[in-house]
Amino acid sequence: MLKKIKDFFFIFKNINRINQKKPKYLFYSENKSYLKFGYLIIEYLAKKFPGEVYYVSSDVDDKINNLDVINVHISSGFLLQYFFTSVSAENLFMTLTDLNNSIIKKNKFVKNYIYYFHGAVSTTKIYTSTAFDNYDTILCNGDYQIKEIQQRESIENLKKKKLIKTGFFYFDYLTSKIDKINSDNNEILVAPSWNKNKKNFINEDFEKIIEKLLDNGHKVRFRPHPETIKRSKHLMNLYKEKFHGDNFIFDDFAGNFDALKKAKCLITDNSGISIEYMLIFKRPTIYYGEFDKIHNEKFDMYKNLNTMDDLVKKKFGYKIDSDQINNINDIINKSILEFKKNEIDEFLNENFYNYGKTIKFFDENLLKICN
């Protein structure tokens, strides 16, 4: 009990120190699995402005030790609410959606709330309708996101945000690392998405697929979504026990680069990582079923726009249904042989801003992006 009280006051003091300093560049991350999405921005700012970048996380293990960054841990709950209602900063960078519509509240002491994406997907399907409404600045991946956000602003008569054509930083982060880690790509990565309506293949033929893959001698890496791990702990423990063995790896999602690097093929229902896997690692994805993950209650207003999710899936993806599971080996081999690897670079340059040059663009437009 005494330790908890000490920790409480220690974190409380840290919050007040941040507010006294009023940092120019402040980042908040929910846990260490999200660091990679903003890492290139943090690295750039830390090198340009050493000692002026603050990194706040609710994960005690989430720290940046290789850069001149001030790390601050603020646990979730009351202290996190206090932090967001009182924090003072010039620019607050986050990849959390629904600012001001959840416990994450906007306040008058932050001049510029900046959102950067943690996925290459469209804004219209898997996010709620209000997901980005209260940000001041959004660092957009491509034209598709700007069109989607501007359409919502027009229909709902919302205040226009500063939409910056940066590109997807995470693509460049992955590309910079891809040749630095040596590993055999001999695994099958199975990564179900999380759906609040429980419509995904972890609730259907998941066990049958894992069993068939293991029976055929494949090394299988199972990577559930963080929300699934958090909300279905009992089920995850059952799978760990049931499939325990040398050819089954339970991956807790903390660092997905190694999982993607080692996979020769990805099997999912609708996970957003399928886009980065196919476009950056240039390997095939097999989609199970017809699960359309729509969390936006106003999705109908965007029916005139094609989503990036569907575009990538149709152009580069492969399908498997319940009655094809016995032939999964043939489908895996077909997907590897026929994958349209040679068309990917052109697709990236056509649909994503500044591919390979996101930080160069960020540097050239720093004053436009930040206060």
Q: What is the pLDDT of residues 173-182, one digit of tens each?
A: 999 988 665 5
DSSP state of 18: H
- What is the model's pLDDT at position 2? 63
Extents of the domains making up the chain: 2-175+353-369, 180-341
Label residue 184 left, alpha or beta by phi (over 0 means left) and psi (-120 to 50 means alpha): beta
Share of the chain above pLDDT 90, in %: 68
Beta-carbon contacts of 246 under 8 Å, excluding residues fewer than 6 positions away, are none
pLDDT digits (tens, 9 = 90+) for 298-333: 888 887 788 999 999 999 999 998 899 999 999 999
Share of the chain above pLDDT 70, in %: 93
Long-range (24+ apart) CB contacts under 8 A made by 72-75 are 72/14, 72/18, 73/11, 73/14, 74/11, 74/14, 74/15, 75/7, 75/11
293 has a pLDDT exceeding 80: no
* CATH number for region 180-341: 3.40.50.12580
Whether 22 contacts 88, CB under 8 Å: yes
**Rounded Cα–Cα distance for residues 16 and 358 (Å):** 34
Task: State the CATH architecture for 2-175+353-369.
Answer: 3-Layer(aba) Sandwich (3.40)
- Are 2-175+353-369 and 180-341 in the same CATH fold? yes
Q: What is the pTM of this model?
A: 0.90
Range name among 59-68, 111-120, 178-187, 233-242 with the lowest pLDDT average? 178-187
| Per-residue tokens: 360 | 């160069």
Whether 262 contacts 186, CB under 8 Å: yes
**Rounded Cα–Cα distance for residues 362 and 139 (Å):** 10
